Structure 1
Amino acid sequence: MPVSDKTQGLLTQWTGRVRTAGGTSKSAREQWIKARTPRKHVRTALESMTRGAVRCMYCDDSRGTDIDHFQPLENAPLRAFEWSNHLLACSYCNSNAKRSQYPVNADGVCLLVDPSAEDPADHLRLLLKSGLYDPVDKSAKGEETIRVFGLNRPDLVKGRLDAFFRACSNMRDWHRLHQDADPLADRLAKALLDSPFIDVVHAMTRLKPGVEATVVGQVTVPALDAWRAAHSVSLRVGQQRVRRGAADANCIEGVVDDTLANDDHCCQGRAGWRSNDPAVITMQNYGLTWTDPTGTPRSSAVAYDEPSAQDRKADLKNAGCTSVQIVAVRPGELPEPRS
């Protein structure tokens, strides 16, 4: 997802200053510290791409407070102001975990998953029953990404396990509200999609039918099936992919006993990964407005793809709601109730 022309112009200008100052890591760091306005523009753009309470793009737990250079200034000083080299990170992931690490193989290819340019699911999978990440097929990138970002540090593992139990409970609550066409269902769904460790929820949606009962429990399976129908958005060729975190597993496979989930790369809500391909277009989101059976105007608290919006419209009509309308919205926006 490109930045505005004004922001890109600033970044280009300050790249020139780094080059003029010698193009060294020292000059890059000095110019970066001076560049208050470009840093503000970059932070604003990055924050607009994060979920919930501005989550760290690496661990998806803590608040993103730092602008991290994915390829460190020590390795690539002239990328100090390159938009594609910026990610929003928490202070722990940036200063304690990753720091200036940038492992490469014998051919000089980076061994870290770049969440702005590739699908982490090609190298990482989440084990829901343990809360641990595991490299796919012993992927070197997967192994190094887990190590460098500390994706399996104890606090994150515990957080994912807690998030898994909460997600099962919240999904069952959501299902009951959804069946009654209660508008609170949309609000609960939004809260769940904006919660930390959303990788857990998305891993749940990708469990195979023969495995899901073992993982989430039979009592949660009907809710999980309904959630898939309402909130799973398949990224098709030509849709915009926006920046995601190393552990933001919108497409990471949920597994149990090494049984992989369906490899259809489902994504939910507003999350995804960014593409630098200029030919890629933006995915259209939709919200709904309606009047409930009591005569109260309502609107959806989450965005849908078009098929899911049509399904939601049918559910609302079947529940006795009137004036049900599907409204096209921009990413990050939702419709207002119509009086």
Structure 2
Amino acid sequence: MIPLQRVEISAQAQNLLKRWTQRVEGAGASGQAARELWGDAKAPKKHVRAALESMARGAVRCMYCDDSRGTDIDHFEPLERAPLRAFVWVNHLLACSFCNSNEKNRKYPVDAEGACLLVDPTAEDPADHLTLRLSVGTYDPLSPKGKETIQVFGLNRPELIKGRVDAFVRARSILRDWHGLHQDAVPEADLVAQALLDSPFIDVVHAMTRLKPGVAVIVVGEATVPALDTWRTVHSRSLRVGQQRVPGGTAGASCNKSVTDDTLADDNLPCQGQAARKSKAGPVRTMQNYALTWTDPTGTPRSSAVAYDQPSAQDRKAALEGDGCTNVQILAVRPGELPEPRG
């Protein structure tokens, strides 16, 4: 489990969710009413899913196990416990069907004061409550909340443990390959880095970046330490705070039409990104992407093969300049757009 950045949904979508909350209240604010209304809420679910998918990593990974595809919208605080939170945006996370139905289901442990004992990866850093033992692939608790989180989400089920152990082997190899390409300023380095960031069990790489130097050499081995040190400089920022996906050019997801009624948009139409678009209710927020161009030490013009957020672009620029590259420029780009190398 890694920290993820929750996007801000549009004012139109917020108003739509608020109206459906009012419906739950009008129906008696019971768990049954909330579940029935949620089952019928095609347009709200479409907006929630699109926003959650923009936050998820890789191939829309489950926000709990980081392995399987996130197929279900999970109500973090269950409907039976908090029916009026059925349509509250911050109460939604994306989960695989196993984590959602087989493991968490309607569980919501609380302490003696009624405070939740589950980690919400969009609201706090899971590493404050969990630690991943890389060599064996298991999570150990650092707090009561960590203990309940491991148990409720089944984070130490056998298939996840094996997946993390295998991912640890792959990550060390990929990091060493990436490091060689990065040192030679080969454009493929960016593609390799993005493939690693999008892979399942990215919590393994996240845990590796948090190792202290004296421990890292024991855990990952001397051959991998230089690659890991460079990776921390270039890419660890996105792992610390969570990196927003931008499918179809969106960070805060919305649909094509503005809110004029409860459907918000034709339920037969897919939700689309907000990038470079304004609704009738006013401007919407988008996530700006950045790419880089530079000249490598051999005098060859280069450009990045992936886009970054602004802090990561600044980190990448510093790393390139540290490697002897010149004329390093950060360019704002549209989703899906990358610059050509400049001579």
Please give the TM-score of this superposition, normalised by the length of structure 2.
0.79
| Larger CA deviation: 66-75 vs 295-304 | 295-304
The structure-2 alpha-carbon separation of the partners of 1:91 and 1:157, relative to structure 1 and needing over 3 Å to count, comes to: same
What is the TM-score when the length of structure 1 is the normalising length?
Answer: 0.80
* Structure 2 residue 232 is the aligned partner of structure 1 residue 228: yes
| Paired position in structure 1 for 2:132 | 126
Give secondary structure in 1 for the equivalent of 2:237: strand
Matched, 1:301 2:306: yes
CA distance in 2, matches of 1:299, 1:229: 16
- 1:237-287: per-residue Cα shift (whole Å, max 9, x none)? xxxxxxxxxxxxx4xxxxxxxxxxxxxxx457559xxxxxxxxx9997642
Alpha-carbon displacement from aligned partner over 1:74-97 (angstroms, at most 9, x marks no partner):
100110000010001000000101
Query: Which of 320, 339, 343 is 1:336 aligned to?
Result: 339
Deviation of the 1:134 alpha carbon: 0.6
Alignment root-mean-square deviation, CA: 2.5
Percent identity (aligned):
62
AA at the equivalent of 1:9? N
Gaps (5+ residues) in structure 1?
A: 235-249, 251-265, 272-280
**CA contact 1:181–1:315 (8 Å) conserved in 2:** no
Aligned match for 1:116, one of 118, 122, 129 = 122
Deviation at 1:313, TM superposition (A): 3.8
* Aligned mates of 1:311, 1:296 — CA distance in 2: 17
- Structure 2 gap ranges (5+): 1-6, 246-284
Question: How far 1:310 sits from its partner (Å)?
Answer: 2.4
Contact 2:293 2:330 in 1 (8 A): yes
* Contact 1:131–1:161 (8 Å) recurs in 2: yes
Paired residue for 1:238? none
Measure, in 1, the Cα distance between the counterparts of 2:315 and 2:113: 45
Amino acid at match of 1:162: D
Paired residues, number: 294
Query: Cα distance, 1:307 vs. partner?
Result: 4.0
Mapped contact 2:293–2:301 kept (Cα < 8 A): no
Residue in 2 that maps onto 1:164 = 168
- Whose relative contact order is higher, 1 or 2, with alpha carbons under 8 Å and at least 6 apart? 2
Q: 1:286 to 1:7 in 2, by over 3 A?
A: same
Tell me which of 181, 184, 197 is aligned to 1:180. Answer: 184
**1:120 Cα shift?**
1.3
After superposition, what is the alpha-carbon deviation per residue over 1:48-87, rounded to whole angstroms, capped at 9, x for unaligned? Answer: 1111100001111000000000000010011000001000
1:309, distance to aligned residue in structure 2 (A): 2.8
Shift of 1:328: 3.8
Structure 1 counterpart of 2:232, one-letter code: R
